[in-house]
Amino acid sequence: MAGKHELHEKGLRLTPQRELVLSAVRSLGHATPEEVAEKVRETHPGINLSTVYRNLETLQNVGLVLHTHLGHGGATYHAAEELTHLHLVCGTCGSVGDAPIEAAANFVNVLADDYGFKTDVTHFAVYGTCAACVKP
């Protein structure tokens, strides 16, 4: 009667690689596929990068992880339960700050009311200039 493993509950096989990818994403907060691979290699040195990519996609399909776009390049992955903030990326210094989703509540409502658009404010970063760079 022990509960099923969360991966089994999602209909996925439990492999060491998959489990390690998931816990790497959880422990890293934000991470690129490359960073996830590095983390996983601490305990499972042989993991292939394509296995990481495939598992990130699989885990995303079942809703355990998701990705955001913080810059011009590739996506960064988050644990699903942890994505509760906006990303503020500074075009000048490159820093990535966080802000609570509530900061966008009014914006989300405007888009819903006026355009029928249901917004996910976390998927793309918010771009601009951070406080430190705005000041001279």
Contact residues: DNA, CB under 7 A: 7-8, 12-18, 32-34, 44, 46-51, 53-55, 57-58, 73-75
Q: Based on the shown chain and the rule CB under 5 A, indicate whether residue 4 belongs to the binding site for Mn ion.
A: no
Using the minimum distance from each CB to Mn ion, give the nearer residue, 24 or 125: 125
Using DSSP, state whether 87 is helix, strand or coil: strand
**Angstrom distances, CA of residue 105 to CA of 56, 99, 100, 109, 110:** 29, 12, 10, 6, 9
Which option in Zn ion, a copy of itself, DNA, none does residue 99 bind, with CB closer than 5 to 8 A by kind? a copy of itself
Q: How many CB atoms lie within 10 A of CB 76?
A: 22
Distance of CA 123 to the CA centre of its chain: 8
Using the minimum distance from each CB to Mn ion, give the nearer residue, 16 or 94: 94
Which of 13, 72, 118, 135 touches Mn ion (CB under 5 A)?
A: 72
Q: How far apart are CA 55 and CA 11, in angstroms?
A: 14
Q: How many CB atoms lie within 10 A of CB 4?
A: 9
Which option in Mn ion, DNA, a copy of itself, none does residue 121 bind, with CB closer than 5 to 8 A by kind? a copy of itself
The stretch near Mn ion (CB under 5 A) out of 6-14, 21-29, 71-79, 81-89 is 71-79
CB of 116 to Zn ion, least distance (A): 10
